[in-house]
Amino acid sequence: MGKRVASTSSFDFGPYAQILKTLLPRSRVIYLYAPDGDLLWSSDGTDSADLQPRIVELLESAKANPAAEAAGSRQMLGEAPAYTFLLRDELGAVLGVTAVLCREISREGDVPSFESVERTLSPLLVLARRDLAQQRVLVETGRFNIADTQELQWLLDVTHVDAPADSSGDGLQTLLDAFALRSECDLALLHLPGRRLERVSVRCAILPEELETLRGVVGTHLHRVTQLQQRTLIVNKVRETGAGGLVPFRILCVPLIRRGQVVGVAVAFNRAANRAFGNREARMLERLGPRLLEIVDMRFDTTTGLLTRHAFDEQAAAVLARNPQGLRALVYADVDQLHSVNDLYGFEAGDAVLRAIADVWRAQELPAESAIARLAGDRFVALLDGASTDAARAWAETTRLAVSELVPPERCAGLSLAASFGVATLAPGSTLEHALAGAESACRSAKEQGGNRIECFSLPAARIAQQQGELKLYRELVDAFEQGRFRLYAQPLAPMWDLSRPMRYEILIRLLDARGQAIAAERFLPVAARHQLLGRIDRWVFGELLTRLAACGSSLAETEAMFSVNLSLQSLQQPDLAAQIRTALIAARVAPSLINFEINEKAIVGRIDESERFLTELATLGCSASIDDFGTGGSSLAYLKSLKVSTLKIDGVFIKDLLTNPRSESMVRAILQIARQLELDTVAECVESQEAGAHLATLGVTYGQGMALAEPKPLNEVLEGLMKKAAPLLTEAVVLAPGDDRVH
């Protein structure tokens, strides 16, 4: 862990570290080193053996070349970036080194450069240098200046606001108000044109026309000047506007810089009769700059300047918490045909349309405690506090008309802009997610009816009952994982015409409710799919199967049996799935040849390149694979020759009416012809009669699966039977898993 912090240190770096963590959320451990390399302070109480050599190297380099302007560097400690900053006083003497160890970052491109981190922390580093120098003066002379320490405490207080209390709910107004109060300026203004953001804090009486004049000065003059000079401006002399009129205000203007570009300004104004601005006010506003930009990046959409989805959820949650029983409504909008704009005129034109529509939303009058956001893509949402369904519909209608009256960008001449709207009330006690789903559903209905219209969401009684039933099943699923209420069954795939073929089995999962009653798979699997639980179910089935097979030892391989496990799309979306399978097989010591994976044809077609790589990896492991529900994807036929699969499972829709529908038989014959050409086995699903089974055998189907051929049995019963055939003396080798009753 490294050496402990020297107890002789009298400098408390804790307040600086708190601010640093606010400015740099990725920071994990913060250190302060003395000029001789000894550790003065660290946030976790220990030193870093990996950092020590770099600290010593930086200090020795500074001593060897005192005139050098090196400020520090970035190093990678494994996958964790570390930043070191050399602290010098005004005469160039070394005061120490600040080091920041950040959390691990998986991708090299995501690691911030030293220059960007230094710019973010610049105000804090300036203050740390000053206070370290003052401490040295205090030790040497006994004199101490308390002003900067008070400013540090103020900065810590205002940048550590967890729940912004201002009406905008974004934290920017809170910081601007805090600065205006602390600096005693008459007016403070934040201007970020790229995000269409402006905040104003007024501490004295000001006429509307005066405020508009100051806004013009900021947008037209000050922002342009700071873009050129990229430094703080202090103008204490009353100046004239471009039109020759006087602006009777003193001005302090701080540029907000990101990656070397001025993206906005923070400006303070004092009337000419009031006191002049000095370095104290400039330092205060400069120190707020990084925090202001951090809030903007975290909470505001880069294209439209509206709240992001995350910020909207936070603000809505705060509104609901303050008044849970209040009346509210959601308005959801989807821009009609935006994809056509992107396709015909390019994404730049599409972004221009989005910005214009966002300006319309921003221009609409909102009740207090309301919020508007861009959810994603071409979707917008508004939370209207205190609004009934009728009031929300009226607001949406005004917004819809304003959107339809927009003049499109010049390059999109002739284009008509429109949006579809959905309205849903947020009843007391309901969740934001449910109301948002209702508003989205109503918006979808509006689009299906031609677009450029408004629909209100109402939930019929049948739908309410359906939702309640789904909620109950969801809870059963979650409880089943914790309480062990899943069971594995195996259904034989019977050889149809060559009885010498080895047996195959499809592994099926059963869910028992709290009373031990089985719940049909067709009921709970769709719920699991909608709530992203299929991947978890797949992992449980595969892991449990390996446990059972491992208990049988190596004798099971002599039977040449094969067990098929279904893989859902949710599982296939895991990039390291093949590696997980390989690790599990090695740990369980189960022969890969015992395992076959069944993958739905539509899942393969939807991600053909990834599927081809995954199936190749499976084949390398020694496992086989089948395409499930074959015949419904269609487009996969062109890719069959490159997919490492051994079996096609013919979709049951062609088998159920095989004897009565000539088209179904034609489809089966076509699939069999493809399988023969590619030397693949075939399995017919849903064989529900002996007559159908006999006919499939004459057609040449390799295996059949269905209740007419063999019913599913508990997996342990199937394994016992196989073990008896493989080694009669090992009948007792199969051990039932706890709680796995044999169900007949």
CB 218 within 8 A of CB 265: yes
pLDDT bracket for residue 732 (50, 70, 90): very low
How many CB atoms are closer than 10 A to CB 232? 20
Question: Residue 563's pLDDT is what?
Answer: 96
CB 177 within 8 A of CB 165: no
CATH architecture of the domain 14-157 equals: 2-Layer Sandwich (3.30)
Q: Is the pLDDT confidence value at 722 over 70?
A: yes
Q: Is the pLDDT confidence value at 266 over 60?
A: yes
Measured CA to CA, the distance from residue 146 to residue 131 in angstroms comes to 9
Phi, psi of 710 (to 5 degrees): -165, 135
Q: Is the pLDDT confidence value at 437 over 80?
A: yes
Which of 95-99, 693-697, 732-736 has the least mean pLDDT?
732-736
pLDDT higher at 422 or 642: 422
Stretch 347-369: mean pLDDT, rounded?
Answer: 87
Question: Residue 69's pLDDT is what?
Answer: 57
Which of 39-48, 58-67, 148-157, 483-492 has the least mean pLDDT?
148-157
Model confidence pLDDT, tens digit, residues 42-90: 988 888 888 888 898 888 888 776 655 567 889 888 888 999 999 887 6
CATH of 325-459 among 3.20.20.370, 3.10.450.50, 3.30.70.270, 3.40.50.1390: 3.30.70.270
Q: What strands lie across the sheet with 371-376, from one edge to the other? A: 371-376, 379-385, 328-335, 419-426, 454-456
What percentage of the chain reaches a pLDDT higher than 90? 32
Q: Is the pLDDT confidence value at 5 over 50?
A: no
Return the ∠ at Cα 39 (arms to 34 and 40), rounded to 5°. Answer: 70
Question: Residue 637's pLDDT is what?
Answer: 66
Beta-bridge partner residues of 704:
494, 684
Question: Residue 40's pLDDT is what?
Answer: 87
Tell me the residue type at 124. Answer: L
Q: Is the pLDDT confidence value at 137 over 80?
A: no
The domain ranges of the chain are 14-157, 162-299, 325-459, 469-733
Question: Residue 734's pLDDT is what?
Answer: 47
Question: Helix, strand, or coil here: 140?
Answer: helix
Stretch 221-234: mean pLDDT, rounded?
Answer: 87
Question: Residue 627's pLDDT is what?
Answer: 93
The HSE-up count of residue 490 (CA atoms within 13 Å, CB side) is 25
CB 447 within 8 A of CB 336: yes
Model confidence pLDDT, tens digit, residues 423-433: 998 877 778 88
Q: Is the pLDDT confidence value at 731 over 80?
A: no
Which one-letter DSSP state was computed for residue 264?
Answer: E
Q: Is the pLDDT confidence value at 743 over 50?
A: no
Mean pLDDT: which of 16-20, 262-266, 365-369 is highest?
262-266
How would you label 423-445 residue by residue, b for 16+ Cβ within 10 Å and e otherwise? bbbbeeeeebeebbbbbbbbbee
Stretch 19-29: mean pLDDT, rounded?
Answer: 85
pLDDT bracket for residue 240 (50, 70, 90): low
Question: Helix, strand, or coil here: 385?
Answer: strand
How would you label 580-595 residue by residue, b for 16+ Cβ within 10 Å and e otherwise? ebbebbeebebebebb
Which of 50-59, 235-244, 664-673 has the least mean pLDDT?
235-244
Which of 196-210, 477-491, 682-696, 719-733 has the least mean pLDDT?
719-733
Stretch 472-484: mean pLDDT, rounded?
Answer: 85
Q: Is the pLDDT confidence value at 101 over 90?
A: yes
Measured CA to CA, the distance from residue 452 to residue 335 in angstroms comes to 9
Question: Residue 294's pLDDT is what?
Answer: 80
Question: Residue 729's pLDDT is what?
Answer: 44
Which one-letter DSSP state was computed for residue 104?
Answer: P
pLDDT bracket for residue 467 (50, 70, 90): low
Q: Do 162-299 and 325-459 fold alike per CATH?
A: no
Question: Residue 326's pLDDT is what?
Answer: 86
For 643, residues 6+ apart whose C-beta sits below 8 A from its C-beta are 604, 611, 612, 615, 627
pLDDT bracket for residue 175 (50, 70, 90): confident
Question: Residue 585's pLDDT is what?
Answer: 94
Model confidence pLDDT, tens digit, residues 628-657: 988 876 555 667 888 899 999 999 999 999
pLDDT bracket for residue 351 (50, 70, 90): confident
Question: Residue 508's pLDDT is what?
Answer: 95
Cα–Cα distances in angstroms (integers) from residue 396 to residues 179, 335, 433, 522, 695, in the given order: 37, 13, 20, 40, 61
Strands 328-335 and 379-385: antiparallel
Closest CA to 722 of 551, 533, 484: 551
pLDDT bracket for residue 333 (50, 70, 90): very high
Phi, psi of 636 (to 5 degrees): -70, -15
CB 360 within 8 A of CB 335: no
Domain 469-733: assigned CATH number: 3.20.20.450
Question: Helix, strand, or coil here: 40?
Answer: strand
Question: Residue 167's pLDDT is what?
Answer: 42
CB 113 within 8 A of CB 102: no
The mean of the pLDDT values for the chain is 83
Stretch 253-271: mean pLDDT, rounded?
Answer: 88
pLDDT higher at 614 or 531: 614
Stretch 197-202: mean pLDDT, rounded?
Answer: 90
Q: Is the pLDDT confidence value at 141 over 50?
A: no
Q: Is the pLDDT confidence value at 526 over 70?
A: yes
Q: How much is the CA Rg of the chain, to the nearest whole Å?
A: 35
Q: What is the largest CA-CA distance in the chain?
A: 107
Stretch 535-554: mean pLDDT, rounded?
Answer: 92
Question: Residue 128's pLDDT is what?
Answer: 82
Q: Is the pLDDT confidence value at 145 over 70?
A: no
Phi, psi of 10 (to 5 degrees): -110, 0
Could you tell me if residue 585 is left (phi over 0), alpha (psi between -120 and 50 degrees) or otherwise beta? Answer: alpha
Stretch 202-230: mean pLDDT, rounded?
Answer: 88
CATH superfamily of 162-299: GAF domain (3.30.450.40)
Q: Which two tokens stand for residue 180?
A: 């205006």
Could you tell me if residue 686 is left (phi over 0), alpha (psi between -120 and 50 degrees) or otherwise beta? Answer: left
Closest CA to 503 of 511, 492, 515, 513: 492
CB 661 within 8 A of CB 692: no
Dihedral sign (CA 650, 652, 657, 661): negative
CB 353 within 8 A of CB 412: yes
Measured CA to CA, the distance from residue 373 to residue 381 in angstroms comes to 5
pLDDT bracket for residue 685 (50, 70, 90): very high
Phi, psi of 646 (to 5 degrees): -115, -15
pLDDT bracket for residue 738 (50, 70, 90): very low
Phi, psi of 284 (to 5 degrees): -60, -45
Measured CA to CA, the distance from residue 44 to residue 5 in angstroms comes to 10
Measured CA to CA, the distance from residue 443 to residue 437 in angstroms comes to 10
